[in-house]
Structure 1
Amino acid sequence: MTRVQINGEPATTEVLHRAATQGYGHYTSMQVRGRAVPGLSRHLDRLRAGSAVLFPDAEPPAGLPALIARALGDLDDASVRVTVLPHPDDRTRTDVMVSVSEPVDDTPRPPLRVRTVAFERDLATLKHMGTLGQTFHRLQAQRDGFDDVLLTARDGALAEGSVWNVAFWDGERVVWPDAPLLDGIVMQLLRDGLREIGVPDTTRRLTAGSLREMTAAAATNSHCPAQPIGTIDDVAFPRNEILTGLLSRAWKQVVREPLR
């Protein structure tokens, strides 16, 4: 099941072709449950901020919750992606594409086997449509027997996964990398949740050499807030249940905001 609407109306083949071939725009992805979204307001802030960078001459996208609700129709649970695209004729306007598909089970998979790769996304702080680089590296890693990749910045700092943020446990606190990366919505919500349950966390520069200082690692995104990572390169993380347990507890503190 997939539904796609542009500006609240069923998407035409012409518009879908333009979106696919132009490759310019930004988006956010969310899991809807009971017609509510964890961190909905932050998703909306992300879309407005992305538009300010990519479409500075256009009005910020408006009426986004209503467009999402319209695309959902009678569905209560779904995976939703909201993409802001350039208008073909008017640079002071944008098009909003809402894609609705089956909800994703957030049950963690077996611990991931990850390798590091030197690659820094263009405009790394934005969730944009330019995903060729990280997708290429992820597929190459899978050909070599890994599950995914952890990207490192130009200076060697650990940054982010192909489509996820990474969290570590150093025995005392949750550690997030300090590097050019996407400030993921789930990561933001988890940090708030950790503070709610009294678990300290910090952000600091990490490199491949820092991995042996950590006892656990996990990937976080809208599909799963606490996906254990078993190894990164040749470093194993034997105590993942501690970190994933804390992240799961933190996630339970998150408020689901209703679509109105």
Structure 2
Amino acid sequence: MDGQARTGGADTACDVGTGAGAAVTVLFCNGQLADAGALSAALVNYGHFTSLQVRAGAVQGWALHLQRLQVSTRELFDVELDGTQLVAWLRQALQQLDAADASVRITVFSRQFDFRQPLRTVPVDVLIAVAAPASIPVLARSVLPLPYQRELAHIKHVGTFPLFHLRRQALQRGFDDALFVDAQGRISEGTTWNLAFWDGAQVCWPQASALRGCTERLLMEGLTQLGQAQTHVEVHLPSLSRFSGAAAFNASGIWPLAAIGEQHLEQSDVLLAHLQAALAQAPWLAL
């Protein structure tokens, strides 16, 4: 497929969302508009984050996002993240911008972290980025399998350079994005998204070391509520022909995959419908 036109058009990397003013982002650090000092500290590139969508002041799966942030804070900094304070800062940021609908990224880092003394206990800081609400167009995309395993895959850390470099490689070869394959040949995840497969009867979740997304958890719970069969399997590239469909997803939406490499997937829209119904089971809860 190298050299063919990308499925979604010229600028369709799989997490490009839509929304007026999406390029305008306002940053808050610990409840205050971020200044140069806070931003320069973030350049140390040691921290973690979560991304989410807010609609009418509500979020799907907020408990999962908070759990992710608190668990990763313990692992990276050996301190506790105050969930009550975090929610207060998030509400304050949205209210200050009069933003009932928004795209939000919450990053936990420390202005006092010193890479020369990484074991020193330091307080953490919270950087909240608020932008216009975004949603990914439901367009079928084609992705290129590439060998890669994220470091500390279970943490949504700020070390994103390899993800975007591999995305560039996929785009240069005529695909919409990159799909990661580990050293054992197992499909794990995409650059900024998880995925599921469809075998004609059940939803199949690929098993390999990967960042397990909040949206993935919500989809699994929703499918269970709907009584839809699902299973966890190792998916190797040579076995892709057993699947008739695949779909990708993150906090900004769900979209079908038209092809993985040379393997075309004719029933991805069937899987898409199942996943959309599953996500609809997750309530939007006020912050």
TM superposition score normalised by structure 1: 0.95
Structure 1 residues not aligned, in runs of 5+ = none
2:106 paired residue among 82, 94, 100: 82
Stretches of structure 2 lacking an aligned partner (at least 5 in a row):
1-23, 114-119
Q: CA offsets per residue over residues 112-147 of structure 1, 9 Å max, x none?
A: 110101100110011010011111010111011110
Match of 1:182 in 2: 211
SS at match of 1:183: coil
Alignment partners' CA distance in 1, 2:37 and 2:111:
13
1:37 has 2:54 as partner: no
1:60 CA displacement: 2.3
Alignment root-mean-square deviation, CA: 1.2
Aligned to 1:242: 270
1:93 aligns with 2:123: yes
CA distance in 1, matches of 2:255, 2:137: 8
* Corresponding residue number in structure 2 for 1:12: 35
Aligned mates of 1:162, 1:16 — CA distance in 2: 25
SS where residue 113 of structure 1 aligns? strand
Structure-2 separation of matches of 1:141 and 1:106: 19
Q: Are 2:246 and 2:256, in contact at CA under 8 Å, matched by a contact in 1?
A: yes
Cα pair 2:41 2:111 within 8 Å, conserved: no
Q: Once the two structures are aligned, what percentage of the paired residues are identical?
A: 36
Q: In the alignment, does 2:224 pair up with 1:195?
A: yes
- Trace 1:12-161 onto structure 2 (pairs within 5 A): 12-19=35-42, 21-56=43-78, 58-62=79-83, 63-73=85-95, 74-88=98-112, 91-108=121-138, 110-161=139-190
In the other structure, the counterpart of 1:231 is 259
Deviation sequence 1:204-239 (CA, Å, 0-9, x none): 111101211100010010111x20000001000011
Rounded to whole Å, the distance in 1 between the matches of 2:82 and 2:112 is 16
Q: Which amino acid aligns with 1:33?
A: R
Shift of residue 111, structure 1, vs aligned partner: 0.9
Distance in 2 (alpha carbons) for counterparts of 1:94 and 1:5? 14
1:252 Cα deviation (Å)? Answer: 0.9
Q: Which position in structure 2 is the counterpart of 1:3?
A: 26
Alpha-carbon shift at residue 87 of structure 1 (Å): 3.4
Once the two structures are superposed, what CA deviation does each residue of 1:131-174 show, in whole Å capped at 9, x if it has no partner?
11111010111011110011011211110000000110011110
